[in-house]
């Protein structure tokens, strides 16, 4: 059990969405420590991520508007969070969660450099609980993270309780995780509202709770 927990922590904490270079998550499973980047290096990292991961498609699926409140689960160093912040600014909020405060420090650097730090709240959470307030979110995003949960259906069921009426859970992941995602969502009482493919290797699925309008 202790070995499993350590593996999960290492997987989620290893740079958040730092790796845009074919990582099997918005975090890379790597032994490297998160390294802060600034200036042109940070811009190049963001440009590479944006080119490979098509964050605009995720923002579109989330259907975010200025003033919305969205949770970014496993936000890491903020490569995707920055796009969510722009979508809900100036009076919306992004709650960026991760199990590692170190990568959330890097997220703050990225958002502050973009002038969006005031839009994002950082939150360190435990590995298998959403850590979100009930009935408070217009959308919850899981980008290449849901397959790391020990009980994906239980996590999604708990997260559904954090949605406002009309809220949605958006899951983006690689295609070979799709069957697991769909099975967990169905078990959690979620209904697939729409699905798209930003590229040939990934899917974006939008779910709503079956017992909410």
Mean pLDDT for each 10-residue chunk of the chain (213 residues)?
41 42 36 48 87 92 98 95 97 97 94 95 95 98 96 98 97 98 98 96 96 63
pLDDT on residue 39: 57
pLDDT on residue 107: 95
> Helix, strand, or coil here: 126?
coil
pLDDT on residue 212: 61
- Where exactly are the structural domains of the chain? 2-209
pLDDT on residue 203: 97
Residues 161, 185, 202, 83, Cα dihedral to 10°:
0
Instruction: Say how far apart CA 59 and CA 65 lie, in whole Å.
Output: 10
Interhelix angle 178-187/152-160, rounded to 10 degrees, is: 50
Query: pTM, whole model, 2 decimals?
Result: 0.81
* CATH assignment, 2-209: 3.40.50.150
> Helix, strand, or coil here: 65?
coil
pLDDT on residue 42: 82
pLDDT on residue 182: 98
């Amino acid at each position: 059990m202790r070995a499993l927990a350590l593996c999960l922590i290492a997987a989620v904490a290893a740079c958040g969405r730092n790796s845009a270079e074919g990582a099997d998550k918005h975090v890379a499973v790597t032994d490297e420590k998160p390294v802060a980047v600034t200036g042109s290096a940070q811009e190049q990292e963001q440009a590479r991520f944006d080119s490979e991961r098509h964050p605009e498609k995720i923002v579109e699926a989330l259907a975010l508007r200025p003033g919305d409140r969205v949770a970014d689960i496993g936000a890491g160093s903020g490569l995707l969070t920055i796009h969510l912040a722009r979508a809900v600014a100036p009076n919306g909020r992004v709650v960026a969660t991760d199990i590692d405060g170190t990568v959330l420090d890097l997220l703050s650097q990225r958002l502050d450099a973009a002038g969006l730090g005031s839009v994002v709240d950082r939150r360190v959470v435990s590995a298998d609980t959403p850590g979100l307030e009930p009935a408070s979110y217009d959308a919850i995003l899981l980008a290449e993270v849901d397959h790391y949960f020990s009980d994906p259906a239980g996590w999604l069921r708990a997260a559904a309780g954090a949605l406002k009426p009309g809220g949605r859970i958006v899951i983006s992941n690689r295609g070979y995780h799709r069957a697991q995602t769909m099975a967990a969502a169905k078990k959690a009482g979620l209904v697939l509202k729409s699905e798209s493919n930003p590229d040939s290797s990934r899917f974006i699925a939008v779910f709503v709770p079956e017992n909410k309008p």
